Amino acid sequence: MIAVIAVVAIVVVAAGSYAVLGGEKKDVLIVETSPDFAPFDYMYGSEFVGIDMDIVRAVCDDMGYKVEFRQNNFDSILMSVPQGKADIGASGFTISEERAKSVNFSIPYASINQVVVAPVDTDIKTLEDVRGKVIPVQNGTTGADYAAGVSSSVIYQKTYSDVILDVSTGKADCEIVDSTVAVAQIAAHPELQVLDILTDSPVENYGFIFSKDNQALLDKFNASLQKIMDNGIYESIWNYYEKNGFSPETPSFFSYRGVLTVETSPDFPPFEYIYGTEYAGIDMDLMQAICYDINYRLVMKDNNFDSIIMSVTQGKSDMGASGFTISEDRKKQVLFSDPYAEIKQVVVVSKDSNIKTLDDVRGKTISVQTGTSGADYAATLSSNIIYQKTYSDVVQDILTGKADCEVVDSTVAAAQAARNSNLRVLDITDAEVEYYGFIFAKESQELCDLINESLARLTANGTVDKIIAYYADNEYKEVPSYYSSHDIEEFESHDGFWGGLWDRINNDFLKNDRYQYLFKGLENTLIITVIALLIGMALGAIVAMIRSTHDITGKFVILNAISKLYVTVIRGTPVMVQLMIIYYVVFASINFNPVLIASVAFGLNSGAYVAEVIRSGINAVPKGQMEACRSLGMSSRMAMTTVILPQAIRNILPALGNEGITLLKETSVAGYIGIMDLTRGGDIIRGQTYDALLPMVVVAVIYLAIVLVLTKLVGMLEKRLNNAY
Amino acid sequence: MIEVKNLGKTFGDHEVLKDISLTVRKGEVISIIGPSGCGKSTFLRSLNLLEKPTAGIVEFESINILDPSTDVDKLRQKIGMVFQSFNLFPHKTVKENIMLAPVKLGLMTEEEASAKADELLNRIGLSDKADQYPSRISGGQQQRVAIVRALAMNPDVMLFDEPTSALDPEMVGEVLNLIKTLADSGMTMIVVTHEMGFAREISDRVLFFNDGVIAEENVPEELFGNPQNERLKDFLSKML
């Protein structure tokens, strides 16, 4: 499932650590480690993982600090900690009197003895056999010291990988190493075994190292370490790694609690929007805070607002966070979390509007976003409602005078007004105050409870208020996530339609690398088009052959009926409906890459049109061609593939080219199942900048450019085929 | 070689062929003449199942071709057919037209088929057109290629369905000459034609079709010189 999500989702991981922090901004502790010492310190993907790492995470969380892991050589850590370059060294440091002269040690967190690791066919049996052998060790470890006392042929390596290489390639006889590390090593190297024969080796204790100058930090750390030892977290971490055989393939204990997939429609500032490449907004930060609180990894998915409820009820995502108003209607479909925001409906008008009271609004043309509470309320005021898919379109309606006003949640209104000085917010409605909640599938009561408990904790400790205050303090402008390391940039106003074109280009495409949405979207659009075209051609050719063969010979009665039904249904229904049915109904219980599902859906759609095109091409080939083939003894299938189809394809090449062009443009509805295609990429930019026009024009130009290239290619192909005969 | 018994064919209510029986011996050349719409083409096409008869039996080399268990494709390899409209494959060169079926059906290797095609093209004097597409050669040349395309399969019998009807008059001769050479070489042939002189010259027997029946059947000298059937007399008088 993670692999699938990776394609479509942006993994939101706050800098440093992701799992164990409470939901507030904290001071950062820099922790250095040499991540080649499984199971204590190693990398899993880009994460620092291991017993040391997770104990540090748990302790720092308890202390109220954020952790930033850095890697360094084992030896160098002993220098950078005393120098204050790092706050903590966590790399399986054995507590020794000698080291204690230069650094402070925490209370011990592990007890380790030394063992021998040797090939399974070794003749080493006792401590005596080890003496005088060639022994590789990691420089600076206890094993190294011990080995020096046992043999004079000690190879000092910088990493355990090199040590293992020496033993497994026969360059050395055996390794001397901590027992826990040994278990992890043989898990990955079945050709090696562990021999617990070093009866005179010291039993050692591991401690984290601190600078001598920071006794206060050490005391605080020790207190928290003792606490997690007492409350069971420490034991859970050990058990977790032991249960996984101390294998370096084990992800962090904290990340392992689970992945929380959350869908949002990030065009709803200040609740959800995209800043640069990060999800930002009140909902997003609440989710981030909750995930820190419950030790889940947060994975955000982008989808249309309308589609999220369906997606969540089908389990395509764990929950939805997109400013969902808690309503009785929706409660029939989904579970709601406890409310996290209180919203009332307001009216947004252009600066020079003469709307002053609620009565002025009645009967006016009101623009709203489909599916919002504002839309429902607006319908009670007027019958002239414009239903838009995004708020950028709504705002555009007001600015261009297409609509007299907008009805929208107060917070969103504030964000819009902050973005555009031509808008005014009027607090004149009599709509009931509403509450936002996160949504879950009906079956997800347990998850809902977990989130509610967390939300209660975060409300109690002030995190929720802090997040909301952060956005309010920034006047609901588009700012980076509360958890982001980005600085807040000054917002540049771009009033007027053609005014400040350069500023708008800069704001729409260059700032925060927004052009990336178009690139990524274009990539998806092209992938979907190409795969769909291939599927469509193959399917279309098969269906056309079945139908034409049936027309000529009367064979394939059942296949022909199926083909006819397929063509009729596909051609008789809109592609968007087909797409949603395939994604939400056919593939409902399967969590499959949406881009591939879309490719299949568009391929199925295209197949029906291609089938009819090819069939007409086949019909245009004179009947005598088939008769000539049959009279020569060729089967109808052979005649079809070698004689009829090649001629048919040439006849229909222009029509097939048109089908490809149509397909390319039809993929623009892929956004309905949460795929960021080119059109959706443009929508996201529009949602961020409230510039309704320019991103759309650029998207159009890109489509046009591709179509022109396609047309040219088809033309060239046609010419080549025409030259042939 | 071909035994037709009580053959009938109806299109909906329209009875095209009525109870036709005919025996064709090996090496025999039979011409079929008759007015348009008399069923002569339908009869010819029934012999290799391009039309499916609705009654009767057609036996080819003692095998009933109407038996559903018969491999019709296999039989058709032995029954060459030449069409009024040539039906060459326009996307293949002259030589490829000849080679396609033998190679695709696995009867010859690419090399064997190529040699065979060269030999056949040489025989009809079109070696220099081997790599031309059909649209680049004349109608007469196209029909001659169509004939050798059928011959490339080494058929036991050749069916000609008005082979010169679509040709300009000056091209009729070259095609008829080729068919005549073929007849002289001992090929079993059934020819549907409007060329009375030709039919008279090459045929062992001539059949006059009228209203879906064989109205008169005789050696050419008798049928043309001393026609019995009133309709035949009428037909011949119009043709001359």
Query: What distance in Å separates the CA atoms of residue A512 and residue A278, rounded to the nearest whole number?
Result: 10
**CA angle centred on A508, ends A503 and A513, rounded to 5°:** 110
Query: Which residue's entry shows tokens 């997690």?
Result: A228
| Region for residue A640 given its phi and psi (left: phi exceeds 0; alpha: psi -120 to 50; beta: otherwise) | alpha
Tell me whether strands B55-60 and B2-11 are parallel, antiparallel or unpaired: antiparallel
What are A183-236's pLDDT values in tens digits?
Answer: 878 877 888 888 888 878 878 889 999 999 889 999 999 999 998 887 767 877
DSSP string, A378-445: HHHH-S-EEEESSHHHHHHHHHTTSSSEEEEEHHHHHHHHHH-TTEEEE----PPPEEEEEEEETT-H
Q: Look up residue A141 and give its two tokens.
A: 């470890």
Nearest to B73 among A622, A635, A642 (CB): A635
- Counting one residue from chain A and one from chain B, the pairs whose CB atoms sit within 8 A come to 69
- Indicate if the pLDDT at residue A493 is higher than 50: no
Res A603: pLDDT: 96
The DSSP symbol for A513 reads: G
A516 backbone dihedrals φ, ψ, rounded to 5°: -60, -35
Res A9: pLDDT: 32
B115 vs A: CB within 8 A: no
Contact (CB<8Å) A638/B104:
yes
Distance from CA of A568 to the nearest CA of B (A): 29
* Contact predicate A394/A367, CB 8 Å: yes
Res A15: pLDDT: 30
Nearest to A634 among B48, B79, B105 (CB): B105
Residues of A in contact with B104 (CB under 8 A): 634, 638, 642
Nearest to B133 among A624, A628, A725 (CB): A725
B46 → chain A, closest CA residue: A631
Contact (CB<8Å) A724/B91:
yes
Tell me whether strands A28-33 and A66-71 are parallel, antiparallel or unpaired: parallel
What are A20-33's pLDDT values in tens digits?
Answer: 333 334 488 999 98
Contact (CB<8Å) B101/A724:
no
Res A90: pLDDT: 94
Res A507: pLDDT: 76
Residues of B in contact with A647 (CB under 8 A): 89-91
Which secondary-structure segment (H or E) carries B158? Answer: strand B157-161
Query: Can you list the alpha helix ranges (DSSP code H) found in chain B?
Result: 40-46, 72-76, 94-104, 110-123, 139-151, 169-184, 196-202, 220-225, 230-239
Contact (CB<8Å) A628/B73:
no
B73 vs A: CB within 8 A: yes
CA torsion A534-A535-A538-A540 (nearest 10°) is -110
Contact (CB<8Å) A632/B101:
yes
Query: What distance in Å separates the CA atoms of residue A683 and residue A525, rounded to the nearest whole number?
Result: 14
Residues of A in contact with B190 (CB under 8 A): none
B79 vs A: CB within 8 A: yes
Closest Cα partner for A138 from A130, A146, A149?
A146
Query: What distance in Å separates the CA atoms of residue A457 and residue A246, rounded to the nearest whole number?
Result: 34
More confident residue, B97 or A517: B97
What are A75-85's pLDDT values in tens digits?
Answer: 888 888 888 88
Confidence class of residue B27 from pLDDT cuts 50, 70 and 90? very high
Which secondary-structure segment (H or E) carries A516? Answer: helix A515-553
Average pLDDT, chain A: 84
- Indicate if the pLDDT at residue A724 is higher than 80: no
Averaged pLDDT for residues A374-378: 86
CA distances from B189 to A393, B23, B144 (A): 79, 12, 16
What are A444-485's pLDDT values in tens digits?
Answer: 999 999 999 999 988 988 888 888 888 877 767 778 888 765
Contact (CB<8Å) A631/B149:
no
Q: Is the dihedral of CA A162, A165, A171, A176 positive or negative?
A: positive
* Contact predicate A452/A390, CB 8 Å: no
Residues of A in contact with B149 (CB under 8 A): 632
CB atoms within 10 A of CB B124: 19
The DSSP symbol for A481 reads: -
Residues near A585 by beta carbon (within 8 Å), at least 6 away in sequence: none
Contacts by residues B61-65 (CB-CB < 8 Å, ≥ 24 positions apart) = B61/B1, B61/B156, B62/B3
The DSSP symbol for A673 reads: G
Query: What distance in Å separates the CA atoms of residue A649 and residue A682, rounded to the nearest whole number?
Result: 36
Query: What distance in Å separates the CA atoms of residue B50 and residue B45, rounded to the nearest whole number?
Result: 5
A690 backbone dihedrals φ, ψ, rounded to 5°: 55, 20
Pick among A631, A640, A643 to test the B interface (most B CBs inside 10 A): A631
Contact (CB<8Å) A628/B87:
yes
Residues of A in contact with B142 (CB under 8 A): none
Residues near B192 by beta carbon (within 8 Å), at least 6 away in sequence: B31, B32, B33, B40, B41, B44, B160, B161, B162
Residues of A in contact with B151 (CB under 8 A): none
A650 → chain B, closest CA residue: B91
C-alpha A394: how far from its chain's center? 28
Res A229: pLDDT: 85
B93 → chain A, closest CA residue: A725
Closest Cα partner for B190 from B159, B155, B213?
B159
C-alpha A222: how far from its chain's center? 37
Confidence class of residue A12 from pLDDT cuts 50, 70 and 90? very low
Task: Give the burial class of B180: count Cβ atoms within 10 A of its Cβ; 0-12 exposed, 13-18 middle, 19 or more buried.
Answer: middle
Report cis status (omega within 30 of 0) of the bond before B35.
Answer: no
B77 vs A: CB within 8 A: yes
Res A523: pLDDT: 93
Nearest to A631 among B74, B76, B91 (CB): B76
> Which amino acid appears at position A317 of this protein?
S
A669 backbone dihedrals φ, ψ, rounded to 5°: -90, 5
Closest Cα partner for B186 from B12, B27, B25?
B27
Q: Look up residue A9 and give its two tokens.
A: 């989702």
Q: What was the ipTM of the complex prediction? A: 0.93
Contact (CB<8Å) B48/A631:
yes
